[in-house]
Amino acid sequence: MNIRVTKTTHPMELTPSDKLGFGIHYTDHMFIMDYSDEKGWYDPRIIPFQNISLSPAACVFHYGAEVFEGLKAYRRPDGGVQLFCPLDNMERLKNSCVRMGLPVVPPEEALEAVKALVKVDERFVPSEPGTSLYIRPFLFGTDAKLGLHGVHEAMFIVVLSPVGSYFDNGMEPVKIIVETEDVRAVRGGTGEAKCGGNYGASNRAGERAFANRYSQVLWLD
């Protein structure tokens, strides 16, 4: 894959490790690649981190044509950077795409994009214990048609975020509440796919848990 690289002219300042939080700060650059039935995946590029423009009719907004992944890069004691099981995540991204009817990025090419972006923004990988560089690849349909249809145009994007602990209490044990009202997955549904709809449908139970000082929800179904 021939990835075109355009570097920012306004590099960001690094955020102190004790101020990172989770998914709040981003790196200088992002990866984007476009898809159409006629061209397949094309124009892979790394560009300065920025907003994207989509039609209000894009199918991702109306029919949830979207999947994502999450993995991390760590700073080793020798100063190098290492990914943790990245190909497994790219395989799961492929499986999610198949389940949601989205075009598949071959796992090896998806991993190539991740590695290229991490290399460009390597300076953002923190080194303090409990910190890492969170990697968010995501893929969504962009067809600007309101009729229910298959996906014929799409975008694959990767963004990076230096992070601390996901939970406010760090590495301390978390309190979990058992959810007995809402259901996260059903037989024959999309429970095995890492898609936004599964997470959006879990927000109500999550808010109930947080209101009662629990950190996570244990789903019975």
d(CA 206, CA 177): 9
Residues paired with 136 in a beta bridge: 159
**Does residue 38 sit in helix, strand or coil?**
coil
d(CA 129, CA 106): 33
Structure tokens at 133: 């560089």
119 is a catalytic site residue: no
How far is the CA of 168 from the CAs of 22, 136, 160, in angstroms? 9, 21, 21
* Residue 59, CB-side half-sphere exposure with 13 Å CA sphere: 22
d(CA 150, CA 148): 7
d(CA 76, CA 59): 41
d(CA 220, CA 78): 43
Structure tokens at 109: 């090419």
d(CA 180, CA 196): 22
Task: Report how far Cα 11 is from the mean position of its chain's Cα atoms.
Answer: 22
Report, as residue numbers or ranges, the catalytic residues.
194
